[in-house]
């Protein structure tokens, strides 16, 4: 329990911990997420795995000097080897392995260049899987441009920001007056908000282009937001923006923004547009950061009728927290 928020700093769900291209076969990387020291490695057959970092023997951190040996990771201190399930399968100087020689593995999946971990505060197995995103690697779309920040906030707040349509007008200066009522859809662990704006997206303001289109924001738990935007002007622009939010500790969040756009006209124009859209996103994020880093969380906020679907979002998000049996979830997230 954090002091800033009336719920755990670490909601349950899938979270990005690395990019695939950071980890070749045999690669080992120390990580620190969810307030824990972790080790990420890729076995020689190409599969990524994440363990609690410390060796059960005498506590060495496997991420500093540990080596992949076939499909095991070998501790740098005395050479004990652990298979993908975390079982110790070899002690180089002993024929017997103590039965308790095991490290806790975390569920991992890899898709579209992302390595994701399923975090659960009670170490329960994943109750849902990440859907595939078949369009992401298509040749019609650019590779993702990436940028990252360390921000003193909570994934609950950053995802709520996407529901808070009123702040887009006021804080970010976007004209949402012509927006039709947002469509809001919940399918288990996925929440989708669809906006059909008729406005000038600020990215096009200096070009003087009126735009109308569709913005569809999909939240997959609290760690992944995928925002697809279609902007229709003389031609059509399609943008995919990923916000990947992983709690580092009780205070800070690792925030990654990835942008891909569908090819338009030629490569130079496409890449210029992609950079401009990243610059616009960064600009917006820098307007949000001082608010996030200093705000407090009201369980029962005073909302106007024209605010976005903040309370339905909060109600949906309750499923990602484990509550102590003696506490009711409504004490944490009033809806
Ligand atoms: S501390 Fe890991 S093998 Fe001894
Ligand atoms: Fe914002």
Q: Is the pLDDT of residue 10 over 80?
A: yes
The per-residue pLDDT for 273 is 87
Q: CATH topology of 13-119 equal to that of 135-316?
A: no
Out of 71-80, 117-126, 178-187, 204-213, pick the least confident: 204-213
Q: Is the pLDDT of residue 212 over 90?
A: no
The closest-lying atom of ligand 1 relative to the alpha carbon of residue 58 is 1
| Cα of 285 from ligand 2 centre, angstroms | 6
**Ligand 1 in reach of 149 Cβ (< 6 A):** no
Q: Is the pLDDT of residue 1 over 60?
A: no
Out of 37, 72, 78, 97, mutate this one to test ligand 1's pocket (max ligand atoms within 8 Å of CB): namely: 78
Q: Which sequence spans correspond to the domains of the chain?
A: 13-119, 135-316
| Average pLDDT over the chain, rounded to an integer | 88
What is the pLDDT averaged over residues 291-298? 94
Q: Any idea which residue has 């329960």 for tokens? A: 124
Homologous superfamily (CATH) for 135-316:
Naphthalene 1,2-dioxygenase Alpha Subunit; Chain A, domain 1 (3.90.380.10)
What is the pLDDT averaged over residues 64-77? 97
313 pairs with which residues across the strands? Answer: none
Torsion of CA 309, 276, 229, 133, to 10 degrees: -100
Q: Is the pLDDT of residue 327 over 80?
A: no
Domain 13-119 CATH (choose: 1.10.3720.10, 2.102.10.10, 3.40.50.720, 3.10.100.10): 2.102.10.10
Tell me how far apart the terminal alpha carbons of the chain are, to the nearest angstrom.
Answer: 20
What is the pLDDT averaged over residues 125-143? 81
**Ligand 1 in reach of 60 Cβ (< 6 A):** yes
Q: Any idea which residue has 């704006």 for tokens? A: 197
Q: Which ligand neighbours the alpha carbon of 59 most closely?
A: 1
Distance separating alpha carbons of residues 83 and 104, to the nearest angstrom: 11
| Cα of 110 from ligand 1 centre, angstroms | 28
The per-residue pLDDT for 206 is 58
The per-residue pLDDT for 247 is 98
Q: Is the pLDDT of residue 131 over 80?
A: no
Q: Each residue of 232-264: pLDDT tens digit?
A: 777 788 889 999 999 999 999 999 999 988 888
**SS3 call for 4:** coil
Q: Is the pLDDT of residue 335 over 50?
A: no
- For residue 141, the tally of other CB atoms under 10 A from its CB is 18
What is the pLDDT averaged over residues 86-92? 97
What is the pLDDT averaged over residues 105-126? 95
Q: Each residue of 295-326: pLDDT tens digit?
A: 999 989 998 888 888 899 999 999 999 975 44
The per-residue pLDDT for 265 is 81
The per-residue pLDDT for 242 is 93
pLDDT tier for residue 177 given thresholds of 50, 70 and 90: very low
The per-residue pLDDT for 252 is 97
**Ligand 1 in reach of 57 Cβ (< 6 A):** yes
The per-residue pLDDT for 231 is 81
**SS3 call for 103:** coil
Out of 61, 64, 65, 80, mutate this one to test ligand 1's pocket (max ligand atoms within 8 Å of CB): namely: 80
The closest-lying atom of ligand 1 relative to the alpha carbon of residue 79 is 3
Q: Is the pLDDT of residue 2 over 60?
A: no
Distance separating alpha carbons of residues 239 and 231, to the nearest angstrom: 8
Maximum CA extent, the chain: 75
Percent of the chain with pLDDT over 70: 89
Q: What's the half-sphere exposure (Cβ side, CA atoms, 13 Å) at 70?
A: 7
């Amino acid at each position: 329990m954090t002091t800033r928020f009336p719920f755990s700093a670490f909601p349950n769900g899938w979270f990005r911990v690395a990019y695939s291209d950071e980890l070749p076969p045999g690669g080992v990387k120390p990580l620190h997420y969810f307030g824990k020291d972790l080790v990420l490695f890729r076995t020689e057959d190409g599969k990524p795995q994440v363990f609690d970092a410390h060796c059960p023997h005498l506590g060495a951190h496997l991420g500093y000097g540990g080596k992949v040996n076939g499909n095991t990771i070998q501790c740098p201190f005395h050479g004990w080897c652990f298979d993908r399930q975390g079982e110790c399968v070899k002690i180089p100087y002993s024929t017997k392995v103590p039965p308790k020689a095991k490290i806790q593995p975390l569920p991992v999946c890899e898709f579209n260049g992302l390595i994701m971990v399923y975090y659960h505060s009670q170490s329960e197995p994943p109750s849902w899987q990440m859907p595939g995103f078949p369009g992401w690697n298509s040749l019609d779309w650019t590779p993702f441009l990436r940028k990252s920040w360390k921000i003193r906030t909570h994934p609950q707040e950053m995802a709520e920001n996407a529901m808070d349509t009123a702040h887009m007008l006021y804080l970010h200066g976007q004209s949402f007056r012509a927006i039709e009522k947002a469509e809001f859809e919940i399918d288990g662990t996925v929440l989708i908000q669809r906006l059909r704006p008729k406005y000038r997206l600020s990215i096009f303001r200096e070009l003087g282009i009126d735009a109308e289109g569709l913005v569809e924001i999909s939240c997959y738990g609290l760690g992944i937001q995928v925002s697809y935007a279609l902007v229709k002007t003389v031609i059509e622009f399609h943008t995919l923006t990923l916000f990947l939010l992983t709690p580092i500790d009780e205070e800070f969040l690792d925030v990654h923004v990835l942008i891909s756009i569908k090819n338009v006209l030629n490569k130079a124009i496409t890449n210029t547009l992609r950079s401009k859209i990243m610059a616009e996103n960064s600009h917006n994020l820098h307007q949000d950061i001082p608010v996030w880093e200093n705000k407090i969380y009201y369980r029962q906020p005073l909302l106007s009728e024209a605010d976005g679907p903040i309370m339905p979002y909060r109600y949906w998000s309750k499923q990602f927290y484990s509550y102590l049996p003696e506490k009711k979830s409504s004490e944490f997230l009033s809806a």
